[in-house]
Amino acid sequence: MQMTETQNFTTAQLRSIIERVERLHEERDELSNDIRDVYAEAKANGFDVKAIKEIVKLRGRDRSEIAEENAILRTYLAALGMSFDMLPIDANPEPANGDALDENRWSEQPVAA
């Protein structure tokens, strides 16, 4: 049985998709190794890798989402008679320097020397 032109095209298209996905998996694995190397470098330079990972995770989230999560945590902590100091971070959507800011994105704040 001979494949029709449409079947040949479909087969080639499917093969192309699979090969692209395979290349993307390879690239992802390479990126994962690069990220692991950066964390190893940070650790070798005395940085707390767990804290760095948490910061990266926080910076990837919307500030309003974090603020909402903290509000819920504050409510639960208060109900249990626990201190708000237990919160890992307090995400205030307002920028520290008073400038207008997209409240859902993080901004770089100058570091005091």
Sequential DSSP letters for 54-97: HHHHHHTS-HHHHHHHHHHHHHHHHHTT--GGG-S----SS-TT
pLDDT band at 1 (very low <50, low <70, confident <90, very high): very low
Average pLDDT estimate for 66-84: 88
Q: What local confidence, expressed as pLDDT, does residue 6 receive? A: 80
Q: How many CA atoms lie within 13 A of 61 on its CB side?
A: 16
Looking at beta carbons, which pairs linking 2-5 to residues 24 or more positions away fall under 8 Å?
A: none
Residue 85 confidence (pLDDT): 74
Dihedral in degrees, nearest 10, Cα atoms 20, 25, 28, 33: -140
Residue for token digits 């920028």? 95
- The pLDDT of 26-35, averaged and rounded, is 98
pTM: 0.61
| Average pLDDT along the chain | 82
Residue 86 in this model has a pLDDT that exceeds 90 = no
Locus of tokens 């859902």: 104
